[in-house]
Amino acid sequence: MIPSDATLTENGLAPARKGRILLIACGALAREILDLKEANGWDHLDLTCLPAKYHLWPERITEAVTEAVAKHRDDYDDIFVVYADCGTGGLLEARCRELGVEMVAGPHCYSFFEGNDAFAAREEFTAFYLTDFLVRQFDAFVWKPMGFDRHPELIPMMFGNYEKLVYQAQTNDPALDRKAEDCARRLGLAYERRFTGYGDLQTALTRL
């Protein structure tokens, strides 16, 4: 028996997708997206993640997103890209327009977690930002890639113009607070914690 909601194509019978949306996301946002999905019952949203370490090589992000869209487009009614510009210099936004898919607005996750308008209004040029993910993965994404584990003398050279470390907390976790404060100490920066929650990320996903 042919299901009443299936679609007949030239290649045969295609299963109904029933309004499913695929999120193609940065791996650094996986935990937050899954938390939002569970809290809001967004069972129509599926998630696939690209490696979080692409942020160390942002020139890889646009092509990786393009490949993921091509791979999954026929399986979903819609695709949403959970990246901001993220160092691609506008290339990701332009490619998403070409592909006909939406993406999160903003220059980077620090901006949309705080709220793009609020972040832009601060004009903080001497602040170094961490999110929950980056606090957890500080050694893997900051300390070791910058060579500080081998050459601590590089810290004042690379962070001499920064004045404070701002921890944008998505959750209230005392253990992460302590770790973030230790990250500031290791970099020789003043420490500030801001509870941002999920900011514009939650707003963008709610629209879906």
Tell me what pLDDT residue 123 has. Answer: 86
Average pLDDT score over residue span 87-100 = 98
Measured distance CA(99)–CA(147) in Å, rounded? 38
Residue 102 pairs in a beta bridge with 80
Among 104, 136, 170, the domain boundary falls at 104
Q: Contact, 5 vs 16, CB < 8 A? A: yes
The terminus-to-terminus CA distance of the chain in angstroms comes to 33
Same domain for 76 and 150: no
Q: What is the mean pLDDT of residues 29-36?
A: 97
What predicted TM-score, i.e. pTM, was given to this entire model? 0.87
Contact 200, 115 (CB under 8 A): yes
Question: In a 3-state reduction of DSSP, which class is residue 119?
Answer: helix
Q: How many angstroms from the chain centroid is the CA of residue 83?
A: 5
Distance CA 25, CA 89 (A): 18
pLDDT at 19: 87
pLDDT surpassing 70 at residue 67: yes
Tell whether 147 and 96 lie within a shared domain.
no
Q: How far apart are CA 48 and CA 103, in angstroms?
A: 14
Q: Using CA atoms, how far apart are residues 101 and 81, in angstroms rounded to an integer? A: 7
Q: Could you give the percent of the chain with pLDDT greater than 90?
A: 90
Domain boundary among 89, 104, 119: 104
The tally of domains found in the chain comes to 2
pLDDT in tens, 163-192: 999 999 999 999 999 999 999 999 999 999
Q: Are residues 80 and 120 in the same domain?
A: no
